[in-house]
Amino acid sequence: MDRDQKFFDMYSLVIGALAIAALGIFVLAMKISDRTQEVFTRDGAEYQAAVAARIRPVGEVYLPGEETTAAAPTAETVSEPEPVAAALSGPQVYNSACLACHGAGIGGAPVLGNADAWAPRIAQGIEVLKDHAIKGYQGSAGYMPAKGGRTDLSDEEVANAVDYMVTESQ
């Protein structure tokens, strides 16, 4: 029984100390609130204007008969010349588009630098090779998609890549 009494006394003392601390914090908060409310009052015109500016709607709706005169929107047009993209060189096009198939021989594509695989194709003529590269080709040796599947490349860029591959494979 003696131990229970000690526990109850200690428990009451801790609860009492916490209640006094909470009361002290509440009183301190009320004092600070009173001092700061004098500086920032909600009834002040400046405060009300700031709140109204923050919650102002983005647009306004006028019913017929309520139209107001507003300045007509103006759009300033600036004519800038179209940037002219320089054509990519043969090695650049090869590395960005052709390497996927011509680097590993996928789909019957002759590997860059393999003169034996390129010889029959080069024998047809450079113009035929460029035409097949630009328009695409499907034959017994394999399949060549138009522009290597990169339709964003110009005909000149594809021709540059063909010239590069032929030069490297002779």
How many angstroms separate the CA atoms of 69 and 161, rounded? Answer: 62
4 neighbors 11 (Cβ within 8 angstroms): no
Give the tens place of pLDDT for each residue, 87-130: 778 888 888 888 888 888 887 888 888 888 888 888 888 888 88
**56 backbone dihedrals φ, ψ, rounded to 5°:** -60, 135
Calpha distance 56→110 (Å, rounded): 67
Is the domain defined by 90-168 classed in CATH 1.10.760.10? yes
pLDDT in tens, 129-154: 888 888 888 877 777 888 888 888 88
Confirm whether pTM is higher than 0.75.
no
Which tokens hold the place of 93?
A: 């096009």
Taking only the tens place, the pLDDT of each residue in 13-44 is 999 999 999 999 999 999 988 877 766 667 77
Domain boundaries, the chain: 2-54, 90-168
